[in-house]
Amino acid sequence: MTWVSWRLQRTETLVAFGIVALLAALLVPTGLHIASAYDQDRVADCIGKNTFACNNAIESFTARFDHIISLVGWFNLVPGMIGILLAAPLLLDLENGTYRLAWTQGVTRKRWLAGRLGLAVGAALLAALAMIVLITWWRSPLDHLRGRMNTGVFEFEGTTTFGYVLFALALALAVGVLWRRTVPALVVGFAGYVVSRLAVEGWLRQHYRAPLTATWPARSNGPDLSHAWVILQRPSDKFGHPLQASLLFRDCLSPTKCLAHKTVGYTHAVYQPESRFWLFQGIETALFAGVAVALILLAAWWIHERAE
């Protein structure tokens, strides 16, 4: 049964790992280049130093790789692509009715389900692990400078990728089992994955725990937020209250002088500290993986009880 399941899942599994291989072909050469520049420019010596020379060195280093850093944001689509791809063979089997042949060959429904679902889930987790290891290594020098809490970084390191790929796989399976139409189910599954990710990243994640706040005089350095996820930062009064635009430039000769004006003497920030990285990783992984498990169980029950 395992061999038959592999034969049915083989093409999609190889394509999924081919996608990961393409990522490696892009990230390995650029990762080596970033690491080399990080060492040669002695950027590590500037970590934690708020000097003009160090600020320029860090800014120059990150500016050199802005194009590839911004490109990595699109990799958020990859777990969804892998998930729905690995769901496709089982959905095709159900749509075409070929699963009935296996059930007439002495294979029980439970064993058939365990083999098909187990292989799909295992391949999804292996692909997610490969992505995590690859991108964590690639971003290592940048993490030393900017941390891992910001959107566009948080999603690729830690454990959340496991939850993402399982969620996309499970959502496509659940829709496909109920609908019995493979292509529409994959489209709906991928769309649901994208919408769910955007909702979590844009709104829910910042509320996993109440964010911290800080207000400090504009002329001082304030807390070190270089590794934090800064949700909001603005000029304020000493109580952290936002200032009206008319007050920002009242009696000021230039925008720079306005920042030092007595009415604009403070900065207020709302942020999530880097110390919460693994807590947030655990919450988000549990969220997506928990929903995925529920959807997979629903799909398995529906096939076992309702498929004829």
Give the pLDDT score at 95.
85
Which is it for strands 212-217 and 266-272: parallel, antiparallel or unpaired? Answer: antiparallel
How many domains does one find in the chain? 2
118 and 8 assigned to the same domain? yes
Residue 55 domain flag: yes
257 to 128, 220, 248, 261: CA distances (angstroms) = 50, 15, 10, 6
192 and 233 assigned to the same domain? no
Give the pLDDT score at 247.
54
156 and 111 assigned to the same domain? yes
Compute the distance between CA of residue 279 and CA of residue 14 in angstroms, rounded to an integer. 34
Compute the distance between CA of residue 234 and CA of residue 245 in angstroms, rounded to an integer. 12
Give the pLDDT score at 56.
85
67 and 131 assigned to the same domain? yes
Model confidence over 100-151: pLDDT tens digits? Answer: 766 667 677 888 888 889 999 999 999 999 999 999 999 999 998 888 999 8
Give the residue ranges of the chain where pLDDT is below 70: 1-8, 101-104, 106, 245-264, 307-308
Please tell me what DSSP assigns to residue 307.
Answer: -
230 and 250 assigned to the same domain? yes
20 and 111 assigned to the same domain? yes
282 and 137 assigned to the same domain? yes
224 and 269 assigned to the same domain? yes
Give the pLDDT score at 218.
83
Give the pLDDT score at 251.
47
| Structure-block tokens of residue 126 | 């292996």
| Structure-block tokens of residue 51 | 């000097």
Model confidence over 226-246: pLDDT tens digits? Answer: 899 999 999 988 888 887 755
196 to 75, 243, 278, 305: CA distances (angstroms) = 16, 35, 21, 29
82 and 156 assigned to the same domain? yes
Residue 206 domain flag: no
**Model pTM above 0.85:** yes
User: 125: domain range?
Assistant: 2-201+277-306
